[in-house]
């Protein structure tokens, strides 16, 4: 860095320094110049090219009441008396001038005889007392044993102009640092950033303006670059370069304490204020977890103590729903029961009697007033069976409880807590008796009318039992003990809805509306088709439309039996046999069965039906034969 030399010729005070300025001491060393320091005439300074220096006049003139006629030394200058070493005063003055860095050619008059300036002479140039006003170059030779260095002045360096007293006031620099406050507005839940030094003024340094620290609410003296937080309000960070970021706490829309921050330029410090305002945003409220398909709770009458499958634990089912009110919860209610009121959670547990007389328990409520989020846990207990409507298995019977939510600024929403109560339908099971005597179903008819059969030579006498009846060739009825019902089993339950009714019935199955062809043929009418006249009667009809035989389910002595009646003769095929037996068979894969069906109806009208079937004709097997 380039330096220039400055010589002081008047007594002055250092009022301001900017940059590198040093004072040269008598031993040739130097030290930094200090603000407020008094400089005497002849003081030598070295000043950096980019440095600035302001000096103010300094007056040390004696008071006016000094004795008359006394010699007074010019202010700020050394006296021109003998030197401490006893040297003549002109030599001492010359040496002092050299030591102070004053150009002796400017302050002393050359003397051919080596004379000294006249004592008390005027001039005062360079602040050296007794100096002549004529400039010149003086060389001091060695005299006697004393050696005085040859005196000259090196003028090869440029010397800055001397600052005189008249110029000093114009050169005084007052530090300029200013920073205006800021005010910003942000939306709720929206971060805001900026720079606090955008409107600062700092034309003269000495350093660039920067933020040192800031105070915010309970956070005092926070260093720049360190984040500060006020719980429930937000987080703020201000960096040394003035950049800042404020992040509001979730859902907070209240007042933000003002921020005082300190700005410095390395010399002065000023304090400014940042004001942040949050504009509320109207946020919607919501309820989740109450729109489940099929309802939130599913219970069944069957699990009641008198139900078909008692289970005390299964009678109570639980669940949960969540809610969100960023602007704060004014009320949260289930039915008429308030769970939260003005942000305060009700004491638990809460029990609510439902419209059907069952019990809803509120088991837990969590609520964060900062975020507005919460959760409600509940359990529902089925107390008694309910009156269900048809159809038999009601999935829609139940009850609903309204859940309503209102926030602090009046927004509201609602949902329903739906409970589905399944009906306890009756049960019914029908089967075949494993050890039943199914041979009792077999019947054989003899179309012979009279007291006995006629046999050909090769016929087997199978014994004749007259089955003649009026109006028919033959008729046979089963005689199963207990009737057809003894062949089947039946069991079931009415369930929690109480006793209703149970009805059983027999029917023929396997014969469709168009009938089924058989292997039999009438002697006068041809092939026979088996038709279903009703659920309990079958008829064998020939090609002429005549009924050849019938099979019926009939009641005998209060129990059901099978009854077969033959009206026309059958073609037996082999004319050589007079007593040939023919079994009733069906064409293709068709079959004939006897079915027993039971329907059970409970107290509220739910019904259930089950059935079992015993085979009568299938393939080559048949319980019906004709002689």
CA distance 129 to 122: 8
Q: What is the DSSP string of 195-243?
A: ETTTTEE-SS-SS--EEEEEEETTEEEEETT--EEETTTEEEEE-TTSE
pLDDT at 108 over 60: no
Q: Residue 95: is its pLDDT beyond 70? A: no
User: Which of 116-125, 169-178, 390-399, 509-518 is most confident?
Assistant: 509-518
- pLDDT band with cut points at 50, 70 and 90 for residue 502: very high
pLDDT of residue 474: 92
At 127, the pLDDT band (50, 70, 90 cuts) reads very low
Q: How far apart are CA 323 and CA 34, in angstroms?
A: 70
Tell me the per-residue pLDDT of 22-31, one tens digit each, with 9 for 90 and over: 999 988 899 9
| Beta bridge pairs of residue 297 | 419
Tell me the mean pLDDT in the region 572-586. Answer: 73
Q: Where are the domains of the chain?
A: 1-61+72-174, 178-279, 286-424, 428-626
pLDDT, position 94: 57
pLDDT at 563 over 80: yes
At 109 the pLDDT is: 52
Confidence of residue 471 (pLDDT cuts 50, 70, 90): confident
Of 205-209, 461-465, 548-552, the poorest mean pLDDT is in 461-465
Q: pLDDT at position 129, please?
A: 35
CATH superfamily of 178-279: Immunoglobulins (2.60.40.10)
End-to-end CA distance of the chain: 146
Looking at the predicted structure, is the pLDDT value of residue 291 above 80?
yes
Mean pLDDT of all residues in 230-252: 95
The total of other beta-carbon atoms located within 10 Å of residue 593's CB is 16
pLDDT band per the 50, 70, 90 thresholds, residue 450: low
| Rounded distance between C-alpha atoms, residue 325 and residue 373, angstroms | 6
Which residue reads 């005299």 in tokens?
143
- Average of pLDDT values for 116-127? 39
If residue 509 lies in a helix (H) or strand (E), which one and from where to where? strand 501-509
The mean of the pLDDT values for the chain is 81
| pLDDT value of position 105 | 57
**36/593: higher pLDDT:** 593
Q: State how far the Cα of 5 lies from the Cα of 25, in Å rounded to an integer.
A: 13
Average pLDDT over residues 547-553: 96
CA 107 to each of CA 73, 102, 121, 167: distance values in angstroms, whole numbers, following the listed order: 17, 8, 12, 22
Check residue 134 and give its pLDDT: 38
Rounded to whole angstroms, the Cα distance separating 267 from 255 reads 35
Q: How far apart are CA 556 and CA 563, in angstroms?
A: 10
**Helix or strand run (H / E) with residue 444:** strand 443-445
pLDDT at 358 over 80: yes
Q: Phi-psi region for residue 205, left (φ > 0), alpha (ψ -120 to 50) or beta? A: left
pTM of the predicted protein model: 0.49
For 286-424, CATH gives: 2.60.40
How many Å apart are CA 570 and CA 448, to the nearest integer? 11
Band (pLDDT 50/70/90 cuts) for residue 206 is confident
Instruction: Give the percent of the chain with pLDDT over 70.
Output: 75
10, pLDDT greater than 80: yes
Q: Which of 56-65, 148-157, 357-366, 601-610 has the highest mean pLDDT?
A: 357-366
H or E segment and range at residue 625: strand 624-626
Q: Which residues pair with 505 in a beta bridge?
A: 597
Q: What is the pLDDT confidence band of residue 353, given thresholds at 50, 70 and 90?
A: very high
Q: Is the Cβ–Cβ distance between 347 and 339 less than 8 Å?
A: no
Q: What is the pLDDT of residue 98?
A: 57
Q: Residue 132: its pLDDT value, please?
A: 36
pLDDT at 449: 72
| Tokens encoding 108 | 């002393």
Angle at 626 between CA 623 and CA 627, to 5 degrees: 135
For residue 438, is pLDDT > 70? yes
Mean pLDDT computed over 504-515: 95
Give CA 349 to chain center in angstroms. Answer: 28
Q: 286-424: same fold as 178-279?
A: yes
Q: Which of 42-56, 64-78, 565-579 has the highest mean pLDDT?
A: 42-56
Res 396: pLDDT: 62
Task: Read off the pLDDT of each residue in 102-127 and give the average, rounded to a whole number.
Answer: 45
Interatomic CA distance for residues 445 and 392, integer angstroms: 46
Tell me the average pLDDT across 598-612. 89
Model pLDDT, residue 3:
74
| CA 600 and chain centroid, separation | 53
Q: Tell me, what's the pLDDT at 446?
A: 86
Q: What are phi and psi of 406, to 5 degrees?
A: -130, 130
Question: Residue 390's pLDDT is what?
Answer: 57
Mean pLDDT on 357-364? 94
DSSP string, 13-67: EEEEEES-EEEE-TTS-EEE--TT-EE-TT-EEEEETT-EEEEEE---PPPTTSP
Query: Is the model's pLDDT at 344 over the cut of 60?
Result: yes
User: For residue 605, what pLDDT band results from cuts at 50, 70 and 90?
Assistant: confident
Asked if pLDDT for residue 465 goes beyond 90, the answer is: no
The predicted model gives 191-208 an average pLDDT of 92
The 10s digit of each residue's pLDDT in 153-172 is: 444 444 444 444 444 444 44
**pLDDT of amino acid 85:** 46
- Three-state secondary structure readout of 324-370: ECCCCEEEEEECCEEEEECCEECCCCEEEECCCCCEEEEEEEEECCC
Convert the pLDDT of each residue in 134-152 to its tens digit.
333 333 333 344 443 333 4
For the ranges 206-215, 219-228, 429-438, the lowest mean pLDDT is seen at: 429-438
Asked whether the beta carbons of 321 and 288 are under 8 A apart, the reply is: yes
Size (the chain), residues: 627
**CA distances (Å), 324 to each of 189, 371, 510, in order?**
15, 8, 64
Range in 415-424, 506-515, 573-582 with the lowest mean pLDDT = 573-582
Residue 258: predicted pLDDT: 97
Report the pLDDT value the prediction gives residue 387, as an integer from 0 to 100: 66
């Amino acid at each position: 860095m380039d330096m220039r030399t400055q010589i002081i010729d008047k007594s002055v005070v250092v009022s301001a320094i900017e940059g590198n300025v040093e004072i040269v001491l008598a031993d040739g060393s130097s030290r930094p110049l200090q603000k407020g320091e008094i400089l005497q005439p002849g003081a030598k300074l070295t000043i950096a090219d980019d440095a600035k220096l302001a000096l103010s006049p300094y007056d040390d003139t004696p008071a006016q009441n000094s004795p008359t006629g006394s010699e007074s030394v010019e202010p700020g200058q050394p006296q021109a008396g003998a030197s401490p070493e006893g040297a003549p005063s002109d030599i001492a003055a010359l040496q002092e001038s050299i030591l102070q860095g004053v150009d002796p050619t400017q302050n002393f008059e050359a003397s051919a005889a080596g004379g000294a300036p006249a004592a008390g002479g005027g001039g005062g140039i360079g602040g050296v007392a007794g100096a002549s006003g004529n400039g010149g170059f003086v060389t001091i030779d060695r005299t006697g044993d004393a050696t005085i260095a040859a005196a000259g002045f090196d003028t090869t360096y440029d010397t800055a102009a001397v600052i005189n007293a008249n110029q000093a006031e114009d050169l005084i620099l007052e530090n300029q640092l200013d920073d205006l406050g800021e005010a910003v507005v942000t939306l709720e839940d929206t971060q805001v950033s900026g720079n606090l030094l955008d409107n600062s003024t700092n034309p003269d340094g000495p350093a660039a303006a920067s933020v040192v620290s800031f105070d915010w609410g309970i956070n005092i003296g926070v260093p720049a670059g360190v984040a500060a937080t006020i719980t429930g309000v937000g987080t703020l960070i201000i960096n040394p370069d003035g950049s800042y970021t404020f992040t509001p706490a979730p859902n907070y829309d209240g007042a933000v304490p003002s921020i005082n921050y300190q700005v410095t330029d390395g010399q002065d410090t000023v304090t400014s204020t940042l004001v942040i305002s949050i504009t509320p945003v109207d946020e919607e409220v919501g309820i989740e977890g109450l729109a489940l398909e099929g309802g939130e709770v599913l219970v069944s009458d069957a699990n009641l103590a008198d139900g078909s499958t008692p289970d005390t634990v299964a009678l109570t089912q639980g669940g949960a729903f969540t809610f969100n009110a960023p602007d704060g919860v004014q009320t949260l209610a289930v039915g008429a029961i308030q769970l939260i009121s003005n942000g305060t959670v009700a004491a638990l547990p809460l029990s609510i009697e439902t419209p059907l007389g069952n019990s809803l328990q509120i088991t837990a409520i969590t609520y964060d007033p900062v975020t507005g989020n919460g959760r409600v846990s509940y359990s529902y207990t089925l107390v008694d069976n309910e009156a269900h409507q048809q159809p038999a298995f009601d999935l829609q019977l139940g009850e609903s409880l309204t859940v309503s939510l209102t926030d602090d600024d009046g927004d509201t929403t609602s949902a329903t807590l739906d409970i589905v109560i399944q009906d306890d339908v009756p049960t019914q099971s029908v089967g075949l008796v494993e050890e039943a005597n199914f041979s009792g179903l077999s019947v054989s008819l003899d179309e012979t009318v009279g007291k006995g059969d006629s046999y050909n030579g090769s016929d087997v006498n199978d014994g004749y039992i007259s089955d003649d009846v009026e109006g028919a060739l033959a008729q046979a009825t089963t005689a199963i003990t207990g009737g057809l019902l003894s062949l089947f089993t039946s069991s079931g339950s009415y369930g929690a809805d109480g006793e209703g009714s149970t009805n059983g019935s027999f029917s023929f199955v396997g014969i469709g509306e168009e009938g089924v062809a058989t292997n039999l043929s009438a002697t006068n009418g041809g092939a026979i088709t088996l038709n279903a006249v009703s659920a309990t009667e079958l008829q064998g009809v020939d090609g002429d439309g005549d009924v050849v035989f019938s099979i019926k389910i009939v009641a005998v002595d209060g129990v059901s039996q099978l009854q077969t009646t033959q009206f026309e003769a059958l073609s037996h095929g082999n004319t050589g046999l007079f007593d040939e037996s023919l079994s009733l068979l069906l064409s293709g894969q068709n079959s004939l069965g006897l079915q027993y069906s039971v329907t059970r109806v409970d107290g509220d009208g739910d019904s259930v039906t089950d059935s079992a079937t015993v085979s009568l004709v299938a393939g080559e097997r048949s319980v019906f034969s004709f002689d």
